Amino acid sequence: MLRYLALRLLTVVPTLLVIATLAFVLLHLTPGGPFDSDHHLLPQIQHSIEARFHLDEPLWRQYLRYLGDLARGDLGPSYQYRNTSVNHIIATGLPVDLIVGGTALSLSLLLGGALGLLAASHPGTFLDRVPMSVASLGMAVPVFVVAPLLILVFALRLHWLPSGDWVAGSWRHVLLPALALALPYSAYIARIVRASALEVMSSPFILSARAKGLPTHTILLRHALRPTLLPLISFLGPTIAGVLTGSIVVETVFGLPGVGRYFVTGALNRDYTLVCGLTLLYGGLIVLCNLGVDLCHAWLDPRVRRAL
């Protein structure tokens, strides 16, 4: 098991290297550069700016320089936010996304899990159909509709919560964006939990547990719960990485200073270092979450554990 963990951790480095290389090459292949502007710069000035950021060097040397900086944990200077390093942008923006995303994840697990189990325990009844219809709606309605509606109801009409902005340490400012982000995920989770629970409850080993005469709560907690969680955990791996790195829509609507929108604005501005840095962050999180998923699988499923 430890050997497996060590091996998996070792693969993280080459994976990140591939991600960094792909991001670097793709960004440099895109037409246009970070300092193109409708104020056409004099060639000499353009050159001095490019020299300042080593953009005048051959691409292979820029690449090696970039890898060298990465090895030291330096993601480089942002080209658009002058005087600011990518490390600093991520260090100030990521906590916002971690708080909002973490709250959203907890909310969606609570809400989705409860609804899914409720539906699964009453299959085909009113208590199944209503939560599942609501879940379908939750998946279908995009965040850019849900978020303004939440603002309309809770901020503009009821005046319960602020309509946006970020105040460090204020839970009131976290609630609406977290809810907007959580609703679609709750819907997915509810459906996954319901399907998985129904499948597990009708499987032969549960039947034999029933045949043995075990009480329902023992069947649910000791035998059914763990296999039910398996598909949910597979789903949560990439989801956690996505939720924690922010959402451009939620950040825009609520005016949050997170890092999610830089995925788009950074790419449009050809802010190579910023986009590479964020891609690495996202890639690294995905790799780690997937590792976590595999470990959870091993813990939950003895068959997987034996295969390791």
Partner 1 sequence: MSRALPGRLVALGLLALSGCGAGTPAPGDAGESLRVGSSLAAEQELVRAIDGGGVRTLDPALSTDVPAEHVLDDLFEGLTRLDQAGEPAPGVASSWESSPDGLTWTFHLRPALWSNGVTIKADDFVYGWRRTVDPKSASDVAQMLAPVRGALEISAGRAAPTTLGIEAVDERTVRVHLTAPTPYLLALLAKAYTYPQYAPAIEAFGENWTAPEHMVGNGAFVLREHVIGGRLTLTRNPQYWDAPRVHLTKVVYLPLDRAVQTDRFFAGDVAFTDSFSAEQTAWLRSRLGSQVVSAPYLGNFVLGINAQRPPFAGNRALRLALTMAVDREMLVRYVRQGLYQAAWTPTPPLSGYPAPVPAWASLSALERHAQARRYYALAGYSAAHPLRVELDYPTDTDNRRTYEAVAAMWRTNLGAEVSTYNAEFRVQLGERHLRKLALFHYAWIGDYPDPYTFLQLFRAGNGYNDGGYYSGRYEALLAQADAEANATRRLQLLSQAEAVLNDDVACIPLYYYASRHLIKSYLRGWTSNIQDRNLSQYLYVLAHEGR
Query: Taking a C-beta distance cutoff of 8 angstroms, is the pair 295, 2 a contact?
Result: no
As a whole number of angstroms, the distance between CA 92 and CA 262 comes to 13
Q: What are 85's strand-pairing partners?
A: 77
Work out how close the CB of 83 gets to partner 1 at its nearest, in angstroms, rounded to a whole number: 4
Instruction: CB nearer to partner 1: give 79 or 185.
Output: 79
CA distances from 275 to 96, 233, 260 (A): 18, 28, 11
Task: Report the length, in residues, of the chain.
Answer: 308
Shortest gap between Cβ of 99 and partner 1 (angstroms)? 14
Nearer to partner 1 among residue 159 and residue 303 (C-beta):
159
Return the number of other C-beta atoms located less than 10 Å from residue 204's C-beta.
8
CA atoms within 13 A on the CB side of 190: 28
Give whichever of 246 and 283 is closer to partner 1, judged by the CB atom: 246
- Indicate the residue among 59 and 156 with the shorter CB distance to partner 1: 156
Interacting residues toward partner 1 by CB under 8 A: 31-33, 35-42, 44-45, 48-49, 51-53, 80-84, 88-89, 92-93, 144-145, 147-149, 151-152, 155-157, 162-166, 248-249, 252-253, 255-257, 261-262, 264-265, 268, 270
Nearer Cβ to partner 1, position 83 or 204? 83
Min dist. Cβ of residue 95 to partner 1 (A): 11
Residue closer to partner 1 (CB basis): 92 or 125: 92
Taking the complex as a whole, the smallest distance from the CB of residue 308 to partner 1 amounts, in Å, to: 43
Report in angstroms how near the CB of residue 148 gets to partner 1 at its nearest.
5
| Alpha helices, H only, the chain | 2-29, 43-52, 59-71, 86-121, 126-140, 143-150, 171-201, 204-212, 216-218, 225-244, 248-254, 262-268, 272-300, 302-307
238: left (phi over 0), alpha (psi -120 to 50) or beta: alpha
Are 177 and 256 a contacting pair, CB within 8 Å? yes
Least distance in Å: CB of 84 to partner 1? 6
